[in-house]
Amino acid sequence: MTHDVPSRDSHNPITSTGIDRAAFMERVRNALGPAERDTDPHTHPHPKPPNVDETIARLAGLEQNLADLFAGKAQEVGMTVHRAHADEAASRLASLLVELEIRSVTLCLSKTESAAALTQAVRDTGCDIVDWRDSPNLDAHYDVDAGITDVDAALAESGTLIVSSDPHHSRGAFLVPPIHIAIVAAADILPDMIDYFSEREAPAHHTPPTATVFITGPSKTADIEGILITGVHGPKQVHILLIDTPPLP
Amino acid sequence: MTSTQTHSGERKPGEHPLNPKLPFDIKPRIKAAVADTHLRQSVKTATESKDRNRADAFRETFGPRYDQMRDLAGRIKQHTLDHLDVYLERFVDQATEAGVQVHYAADAEQANAICTAIARDNGCTRCVKSKSMVTEETRLVPALEAIGVETIETDLGEFILQLDGDAPSHIVTPMIHKDRRSVARAFQRELGAPYTEDPEQLTMIAREYLRQKYRQADLGISGANFLIAQTGTIVICTNEGNAGFTVHGPRIHIALAGIEKIIPKRSHLSVFLKLLARSSTSQPLTVYTTFITGPRREGEHDGPEQVHLILVDNGRTEILARSTRELLRCIRCGACLNTCPVFCTVGGGHAYGAIYSGPIGSAITPLFKGLENYPDLPHVCSLCGACAAVCPVKIDLPRHLIRLRREMVTDRITSRRDRLGYRAWATLLKRLPLYLVITTIQRYLFRALGKTGAKRGGFNDRRWIANLPGKVGGWTRERDLPTPTSSGFRTWWKTHHKKRMQPRR
């Protein structure tokens, strides 16, 4: 197939595979034109972008019951929420594994206080914990029944789970197995995306993780005649074990 | 299916639906689209429900703040474009520091050349690719397959289109013009799958097939929805999760992005993410919003060894000129397509003859490819303004279409005959006595032609013309033409205006 998009470029030096940074930026600068800008990049290299006006963009605030709001929104987008007190979380996880007939898992737990107890609970059900480290192409996650992860944070406004990669957290556990079980502590829940991003402005977060994913529901498609199907590539089911501090209703 | 030729080789002979012979003549495609009742109905149903759900979602979540939200998004994008050089430089600095290898493509050819060079240098032979409009622009898949890299589209809709040698007809739901039977046939023919018309089973066939491909892939290619200047982060939004498999698994990830994808800060995503998925599919967020900041780091046990980002110009710096800059705000949500009465009627048939269709396509395709090559596009619009009313970044699309129409006249792309017609019309409108004479003659003539229809009383004593002669007959083929009223607007205005203007007591 021949390529019929005409090249509109004639004045820039072109290497066989693209142009260099300076030439590319020059094209952009030329296109912008010098006269129209309110700041000159040389004398004033820090233009001020509009702020995110919270009175417009905020959808959830601290005045709400975050655990309830989160659970409700998560269910709206097709995830299943199981709520438990901190002291019964391990047994609730074990019973969930039995209920869903899960016999093998990949596990990424380190952030919640109860990580050790939860890991032990998984082991006690006789479930095989598969080592996912250094398996090429996320291979280890393909043949397990579920991936179990904790989260960086969760968003009440949309029922979103936020997970990130690090030495203890795989990029595959929440994506590849047919079931994802997320452990969310009530303290992980932030009202709004605005709160998540403003927390990330702190110096500790200046270098973001290599991969962060906002998960809002099970893998979905409506490409065939607009009919909603879950589990098109990723998990068919997302279960959230929401660990509430007492009192529970 | 294992051979690399199977995918691109199935394409039917003849012109590519989105890369037609230029100048592009829209009429045969409109005719074909209108004649296909089944297709027209399914596209109409799909777009109308999307449009309704979008409106409901925004009413529920933002209520009266909806308009302010769009305004804020538009302002952030406009600011970014006004200072695009600064933000691009910042993005490149940050991304490079995070270990991303940034490349620069002035046009489509360069983008493909960079991509194929990376694949070749790293010995890649199996590529999985997630949805990206810019790779449709550059026609990357054939370029990769030409050097022997098997390249599989993994978005379900794109995957099916690839099997069929077909092209996307909607930027969000690319397969809006196909039904389950054509999917069933494609899977049976290309994958050897048992014939089924059950969407769930069809999806599972694709799932199993694509999972094999993910496991074997050594190259993942994605687009980008946003590039964050502050951190050098690439943001990708999908519902299916295919982008996750594409960017997290293979040892090399290449992302291609148009320069207009830049936003200044992470916090700005609180505006754009809340608008994007609601505008596209009435979801609060896409199921997966993936943030990539560099390749696998020390101590991590998975993730790509190399992340490349190709910044693509391909005509964008020309659109960056003051009068058209606003068009680069577009976040490709597809809301203007779903709400457009023209797209809803003809959108399923690749009628726009270009990668981007609908109102946004009509406005940017002539800029990308030359107005002289797409002279019909500024005219497939009734200027109803629905697109501008739903655009989440407040692009005034009708204004741009009018500007293009004007340019067609000043640049003499419009035929001499039509230009003479316009000039005569302008002359007429500027001279009142002449206008009155002509409109009076026209009124009598039309009322004489009007045969059917009865008096409806009062001002509305118009009749209907069922058949106009000659070329103008096209207008009356589908509907009747109302005649002017017996008295005319000016007479009506005089009496009513006088009445209104009388002082009240």
Question: Nearest Cα to A214, choosing from B294, B270, B419, B114?
Answer: B270
The rounded radius of gyration (Å) of the Cα atoms in chain B is 26
Across the interface, whether the CB atoms of B320 and A16 are under 8 A apart is answered no
What is the C-alpha to C-alpha distance for residues B241 and B247, in angstroms, rounded to an integer? Answer: 10
> Which of B90, B263, B265, B270 is the best mutation test for A, with the most CBs of A within 10 A?
B270
Across the interface, whether the CB atoms of B111 and A18 are under 8 A apart is answered yes
Look-up of token digits 């692009």: B395
Across the interface, of B98, B270, B370, the residue whose CB is closest to A57 is B270
What is the C-alpha to C-alpha distance for residues B106 and B45, in angstroms, rounded to an integer? Answer: 40
Look-up of token digits 């023209």: B342
User: Is B398 inside a domain boundary?
Assistant: no
**What are B127's strand-pairing partners?**
B151, B219
What is the C-alpha to C-alpha distance for residues A118 and A127, in angstroms, rounded to an integer? Answer: 12
What is the C-alpha to C-alpha distance for residues A219 and B283, in angstroms, rounded to an integer? Answer: 13
Same structural domain for residues B276 and B138? yes
Other Cβ atoms closer than 10 A to A108: 23
Q: Please, what sign has the CA dihedral across residues B8, B12, B13, B19?
A: negative
Q: Please, what sign has the CA dihedral across residues B256, B257, B262, B263?
A: negative
| Nearest residue in B to A209, CA atom | B293
Question: Nearest Cα to B259, choosing from B74, B87, B75, B72?
Answer: B87
The rounded radius of gyration (Å) of the Cα atoms in chain A is 23
What are B69's two structure tokens? Answer: 């939200």
Other Cβ atoms closer than 10 A to B201: 15
B9: buried, middle or exposed (CB in 10 Å: 19+, 13-18, 0-12)? Answer: exposed
User: Is B404 inside a domain boundary?
Assistant: no
Q: Which residues of B touch A219 (CB under 8 A)?
A: 239-241, 287-288
Across the interface, whether the CB atoms of B108 and A220 are under 8 A apart is answered no
pLDDT score, position B466? 80
Across the interface, whether the CB atoms of B285 and A224 are under 8 A apart is answered no
- Which residue among B287, B303, B318 closes a domain? B318
- Which residue among B251, B286, B318 closes a domain? B318
| Nearest residue in B to A171, CA atom | B248
Across the interface, of B85, B268, B290, the residue whose CB is closest to A29 is B85
Report the run of H or E that residue B7 belongs to, with start and end. Answer: helix B5-9
Q: Which residues of B touch A19 (CB under 8 A)?
A: 104-106, 110
Note whether A25 and B88 are within 8 A (CB): yes
pLDDT score, position A40? 55
**To the nearest 10°, the Cα dihedral for B389, B395, B400, B401?**
-40
Domains and CATH numbers, chain A: 21-54 (no CATH), 60-244 (3.40.50.10420)
- Which residue among B318, B339, B354 closes a domain? B318
The torsion angles phi and psi of B181, rounded to 5 degrees, stand at: -65, -40
Q: What CATH number does residue B226 fall under?
A: 3.40.50.10420
Across the interface, whether the CB atoms of A31 and B318 are under 8 A apart is answered yes
**What are A160's strand-pairing partners?**
A155
The one-character DSSP state at A206 is: S
Query: Is A170 strand, coil or helix?
Result: coil
Report the run of H or E that residue A59 belongs to, with start and end. Answer: none
Q: Please, what sign has the CA dihedral across residues B139, B144, B148, B151?
A: negative
Same structural domain for residues B302 and B438? no
> Which of A1, A233, A236, A238 is the best mutation test for B, with the most CBs of B within 10 A?
A233
User: Is B94 inside a domain boundary?
Assistant: yes
φ/ψ region of B14 (left if φ > 0, alpha if ψ in -120 to 50, else beta) reads: left
Nearest CA distance, B69 vs chain A (angstrom): 6
Q: What is the pLDDT along chain B (505 residues), one digit of tens a residue?
A: 333 333 333 344 567 889 999 999 999 999 999 899 988 998 999 999 999 999 999 999 999 999 999 999 999 999 999 999 999 999 999 999 999 999 999 999 999 999 999 999 999 999 999 999 999 999 999 999 999 999 999 999 999 999 999 999 888 888 888 999 999 999 999 999 999 999 999 999 999 999 999 999 999 999 999 999 999 999 999 999 999 999 999 999 999 999 999 999 999 999 999 999 999 999 999 999 999 999 999 999 999 999 999 999 999 999 999 999 999 999 999 999 999 999 999 988 799 999 999 999 999 999 999 999 999 999 999 999 999 999 999 999 999 999 999 999 999 999 999 999 999 999 999 999 999 899 889 888 888 887 665 555 445 677 788 888 888 888 888 788 888 877 777 888 888 877 666 665 5
Q: How many CB pairs under 8 A join A and B?
A: 322
Query: Is B48 strand, coil or helix?
Result: helix
User: Is B451 inside a domain boundary?
Assistant: yes
Across the interface, whether the CB atoms of B289 and A31 are under 8 A apart is answered no
Range of the domain at B474: 432-501
| Nearest residue in A to B58, CA atom | A59
What is the C-alpha to C-alpha distance for residues B486 and B454, in angstroms, rounded to an integer? Answer: 13
Look-up of token digits 């026209």: B442
HSE toward the beta carbon, residue B386, CA cutoff 13 A: 20
User: Is B400 inside a domain boundary?
Assistant: no
What is the C-alpha to C-alpha distance for residues B93 and A26, in angstroms, rounded to an integer? Answer: 16
Same structural domain for residues B299 and B438? no
pLDDT score, position B474? 82
Note whether B298 and B411 are within 8 A (CB): no
Nearest CA distance, A87 vs chain B (angstrom): 31
Across the interface, whether the CB atoms of A213 and B289 are under 8 A apart is answered yes
Per-residue burial over A113-149, b if 16 or more Cβ lie within 10 Å, else e, is ebbebbbebbeeeebeebebeebebbbbbbebbbbbb
Note whether A100 and A236 are within 8 A (CB): no
| Positions in chain A whose pLDDT score sits under 70 | 1-16, 35-45, 246-249
| Nearest residue in B to A79, CA atom | B287
Look-up of token digits 């490709």: B332
Look-up of token digits 């046939």: B185
Query: Is B172 strand, coil or helix?
Result: coil
Note whether A203 and A45 are within 8 A (CB): no
Across the interface, whether the CB atoms of A18 and B106 are under 8 A apart is answered yes
What is the C-alpha to C-alpha distance for residues B425 and B439, in angstroms, rounded to an integer? Answer: 12
Q: Which residues of A touch B67 (CB under 8 A)?
A: none
Sorted by sequence, the CB contacts under 8 Å of residue B271 that are 6+ apart come out as: A52, A57, B69, B72, B73, B76
Strands A220-221 and A229-230: antiparallel
φ/ψ region of B88 (left if φ > 0, alpha if ψ in -120 to 50, else beta) reads: alpha
What is the C-alpha to C-alpha distance for residues B262 and B234, in angstroms, rounded to an integer? Answer: 9
ipTM for the complex shown? 0.91
What is the C-alpha to C-alpha distance for residues B44 and B236, in angstroms, rounded to an integer? Answer: 29
User: Is B383 inside a domain boundary?
Assistant: no
CA B138 to chain centre: 16
pLDDT score, position B501? 64
Question: Nearest Cα to B231, choosing from B82, B100, B331?
Answer: B100
**To the nearest 10°, the Cα dihedral for B265, B269, B272, B274?**
-160
Sorted by sequence, the CB contacts under 8 Å of residue B2 that are 6+ apart come out as: none
User: Is B362 inside a domain boundary?
Assistant: no
Mean pLDDT value across chain A: 89
**Total number of domains constituting chain B:** 2
| Nearest residue in B to A231, CA atom | B240
Look-up of token digits 């990376």: B118
**What are A155's strand-pairing partners?**
A160, A190
User: Is B350 inside a domain boundary?
Assistant: no
Nearest CA distance, B27 vs chain A (angstrom): 22
